[in-house]
Structure 1
Amino acid sequence: MWPPEHERFADRSAAGRMLGTAVAEHLRQIGTGAAHDAADMDAARTRAPLVLALPRGGVPVGVAVAEAIEAEFDLIISRKIGLPWQADHGVGAIAENGPAVFDLSAVAAAGLCVSDLSPAVQRERVELRRRQERYRGARPAPDVAGRVVVVVDDGLATGVTARAAVRALRAGKPAHLVFAAPVCAAESVDLLTSDVDAVLDIHSPREFHALGLYYSDFTPLTDAHVLQMCTRMWEATKVPAPV
């Protein structure tokens, strides 16, 4: 059986609790040299970390991580850009307030150039705005400036969606930016490390066949699930939920 049974998570929440332990240990080990400068890191330590989950699958993982490290919780919304004839085959991604990011080798392998994907980019921008309005209402995206920020998903496969998210966030000048997921394809970790201060995971296989194989329960999530979890977290910290 692949992966081995001992490497499988019961569900996203269980995986998030395990990941939360790894994130907590990383945050304990952060020294002044981990920030872009010592003053930034000293200021960041006076505030709780900020966990930003990637909807939908990253939300239950992010909730568990935020609870484990006593962090503020919010979302970073990103959308995959697929091929014109196979929308679920991601060759790029966009994140809120960020530019489109492409896997140029995958685009070239499909016999395309980036301009051929413009219609897909526009469609995904529309869907991204819909999700912003659905999940947040009038509530603004969080300000990451000077914060310790942990971006969380339920897994890292090609990594292009994560790269779009962290590059958009990096422009906001966080003091320390981490990407964390329970399972990350080792090749994608190698590609992402230049965009963040750390990549954290529980498993990082060189042979990565399918993310769902790492979960006993990998039930698809809906917007309603995301809203329910966000509302609970925001009410617990007295942050208004979307209306």
Structure 2
Amino acid sequence: MDSTVTFDDRTDAGERLGEELRERGIDADIVLAIPRGGLPLGRAVADALDAPLDVVVAKKIGAPGNPEYAIGAVASDGSVWRNEQAFRGVTVDEEYFEEQREIEAEAARAKADRYRSGRSPPDFDGKTVVVVDDGVATGSTARACLSRLETSDADRVVLAVPVGPPDTIAALEEQADQVVSLETPTGFRGVGQFYRDFAQVSDEEAMDYLEQ
């Protein structure tokens, strides 16, 4: 569909997402939210599925001179996703990529540790893991997070988002065991266009959702 679908806010989107997951019979052992915007949704989804909530953290790797243009992303354990198309389209070498990978992986590790407030990382062995974010555009961060779980012994990985463009959703389906997206509009310009309230979530607010 081409029309804009509007969620009131991230909690509304999370509640709708949780309802959809329940209707599909997805029984999660743990819900992982991608900070920061994924935490309000993750809280609602975890409550709907009666599952514990934790985080999976990744950072984009930006192009030289254009940090907002992702040539890849890396998770807190160093698992990386590379945007080969973007990589070919910019002047960048392997040394730059590896340097940035190390820097951003350390930043992701520090963020994950800060959010967990001293708690140990969860154990994924044999578990059904649901990964939640407030939407995907290029999906770079989500892909790195899925790469992180590919290195674990999780039994099943489900990515759940309210909205994302069809091509990104199709690409993510190659990594996750299942992708649930409430809407996949062709007229996609950005995640924020589908929310009435898409205010930035602070670290403090995001961490509060983990504590609830």
Q: Structure 1-normalised TM-score?
A: 0.81
- Matching of residue 134 in structure 1 with residue 114 in structure 2: yes
> Aligned pair count?
211
Show CA shifts across 1:99-119 (max 9, x none): 221111011112324433233
Per the alignment, residue 25 of structure 1 pairs with 23
Letter of the 1:134 counterpart = R
**Which stretch shifts more, 58-67 or 84-93?**
84-93
Q: Following TM superposition, by how much is the alpha carbon of 1:23 offset from its aligned partner in structure 2, in angstroms?
A: 1.1
The 8 Å contact of residues 157 and 184 in structure 1, kept in 2 or not, is answered as yes
Structure with greater strand share of residues: 2
RMSD across aligned C-alpha pairs, in angstroms? 1.7
User: After the TM superposition, which parts of structure 1 deviate over 4 Å for at least 4 consecutive aligned residues?
Assistant: none
Provide the C-alpha distance between the structure 1 equivalents of 2:206 and 2:145, rounded to a whole number of angstroms.
18
Unaligned runs of 5+ in 2: none
Q: Which has the larger radius of gyration?
A: 1
Q: In structure 2, how many angstroms separate the alpha carbons of the residues matched to 1:57 and 1:182?
A: 12
Q: Which runs of 5+ in 1 are unaligned?
A: 29-44, 233-243
Residue equivalent to 1:75: 55
Asked if structure 1 preserves the Cα contact closer than 8 Å seen for 2:130 and 2:160, the reply is yes
* Corresponding residue SS for 2:183: coil
SS at the partner of 2:119? coil
- Match runs of 1:216-231 below 5 Å: 216-231=196-211
Q: 2:173 corresponds to which residue?
A: 193
CA distance in 1, matches of 2:83, 2:187: 19
Q: 1:104 aligns with which of 84, 91, 94?
A: 84
Percent of paired sites with the same residue? 34
Query: 1:92: which partner in 2?
Result: 72
Partner residue, 1:203: 183
1:75 partner letter? V
Letter in 2 for 1:215: Y
- Say whether 1:163 aligns with 2:143: yes
* Equivalent in 6, 9, 14 of residue 7 of structure 2: 9
Are residues 1:173 and 2:171 paired? no
User: Contact 1:98–1:165 (CA<8 Å) still a contact in 2?
Assistant: no
1:42: which partner in 2? none
The secondary structure found in structure 1 opposite 2:182 is coil
Matches within 5 A, 1:110-129: 110-129=90-109
Deviation at 1:25, TM superposition (A): 2.0
